[in-house]
Amino acid sequence: MYEANVTDIDVAGLHQGYLKGIRRRSGTIATGEAVFSLLHQKRVWEVKTKHQIYRAKTIVNAAGAWADEIGTLAGAQRIGLVPMRCTGIIIDAPGGLDLAASPAVDFATSGAYIKPDAGKLMASPGDATPTTPQDVRPEELDIAHLAHWIETETLIPVRRISHSWAGLRSFVADEAPVVGFDRHIPDFLWLAAQRGYGIMMAPALAKLAADLLLKRAIDQAGFDVDAISPARHGISKPL
Ligand SMILES: Cc1cc2nc3c(=O)[nH]c(=O)nc-3n(C[C@H](O)[C@H](O)[C@H](O)COP(=O)(O)OP(=O)(O)OC[C@H]3O[C@@H](n4cnc5c(N)ncnc54)[C@H](O)[C@@H]3O)c2cc1C
């Protein structure tokens, strides 16, 4: 099946745009500040890191694979988030291939895909190995399987892997994202469980979160707020 008009997102450019947006609105970005304590007293959250104590009316828990850990610090019930390791590699494209005109190729029988990426090819088996929240690294065996798979399933020779990495995609049992205020913990909003779509969904989910935070009417058609609420039924059953 060929789908025309598919485009790629410049993820680094998108992130830089978000960072600029925060700074333009006088927001502060503090990195290297792992939160280890969250206390809610007199309607104020006290957030402790090694270097600082921050105070805020509302917490947005957008801690990715660590969202359940942050929820636990706040005293919330876990949502049953499972981080899954996913591997990617960059390989040289075969000579004579017009990369600018090449499509992204998804394989219908698996989550695997190959796509042009800055003059080379990026490939992923779309693997999903359950793990714990961590700065995950690619496993040699996963890379070897991926290279073998490319060579057997396509005509692309894998001569050199110029880069490999792994990251986490986080799932809850029903595989929908989790966006909304916690049912029991006041002023605590979840924004988690975006699986392999957190970049693509970021503008829409952030807009929804902003509408919820500012108690505005939700003005995006097609959003079933109950289906992605942290209060929905069966959210925390094991995957
Ligand atoms: C190989 C691979 C390919 C992918 N491809 C796509 C794709 O094509 N399209 C797409 O849309 N998505 C894709 N994804 C998924 C996407 O990357 C994720 O959905 C997205 O990054 C999740 O964003 P997040 O902000 O929720 O989590 P993260 O980006 O993980 O951010 C969470 C942040 O919270 C911080 N944090 C955690 N604990 C603490 C603490 N105690 N104190 C302070 N900070 C803390 C972490 O340091 C981190 O910076 C892919 C993922 C992988 C691994």
pLDDT 10s digits, 188-228: 999 999 999 999 999 999 999 999 999 998 877 778 899 99
Give me 98's structure tokens: 């017009």
Predicted confidence (pLDDT) per residue in 14-47, tens digit: 999 999 999 999 999 999 999 999 999 999 999 9
Residue of 129, 165, 197 to test ligand 1 pocket, by largest number of atoms within 8 Å of CB: 197
Predicted confidence (pLDDT) per residue in 161-194, tens digit: 999 999 999 999 999 999 999 999 999 999 999 9
3-class DSSP string for 130-160: ECCCCCCCCCHHHHHHHHHHHHHHCCCCCCC
Ligand 1 atom 50 nearest Cα: 196
11-81+174-228 and 83-168: same fold? no
Cα(202) to centroid of ligand 1, in Å?
11
Which residue pairs from 205-214 have beta carbons closer than 8 angstroms and sit at least 24 positions apart in sequence?
A: 205/177, 205/179, 208/179, 209/60, 209/179, 212/179, 212/180, 212/181, 213/58, 213/60, 213/189
188 in Cβ contact with 74 (< 8 Å): yes
**112 Rama class: left (phi>0) / alpha (psi -120 to 50) / beta:** beta
* Closest ligand 1 atom, residue 85 Cα: 53
* Closest ligand 1 atom, residue 201 Cα: 11
Coil/strand/helix, residue 100: helix
Question: 169: Cβ below 6 Å to ligand 1?
Answer: yes
For residue 84, pLDDT beyond 90: yes
Residue of 29, 178, 199, 208 to test ligand 1 pocket, by largest number of atoms within 8 Å of CB: 199
Coil/strand/helix, residue 23: helix
Ligand 1 atom 3 nearest Cα: 196
Instruction: Tell me which of 2.30.42.10, 3.30.565.10, 3.50.50.60, 3.40.190.10 is the CATH number of domain 11-81+174-228.
Output: 3.50.50.60
Cα(204) to centroid of ligand 1, in Å?
16
The domains of the chain are located at 11-81+174-228, 83-168
Cα(64) to centroid of ligand 1, in Å?
5
H or E stretch at 83? strand 82-91
Closest CA to 138 of 124, 119, 154, 159: 124
Cα(198) to centroid of ligand 1, in Å?
7
Closest CA to 113 of 121, 103, 124: 124
Predicted confidence (pLDDT) per residue in 87-108, tens digit: 999 999 999 999 988 999 999 8
Cα(38) to centroid of ligand 1, in Å?
21
- Let me know the angle formed at the C-alpha of 182 by 177 and 188, rounded to the nearest 5 degrees: 100
CATH topology classification for 83-168: D-Amino Acid Oxidase; Chain A, domain 2 (3.30.9)
Question: 190: Cβ below 6 Å to ligand 1?
Answer: no
121 in Cβ contact with 114 (< 8 Å): yes
168 in Cβ contact with 131 (< 8 Å): yes
Cα(168) to centroid of ligand 1, in Å?
7
Cα(163) to centroid of ligand 1, in Å?
19
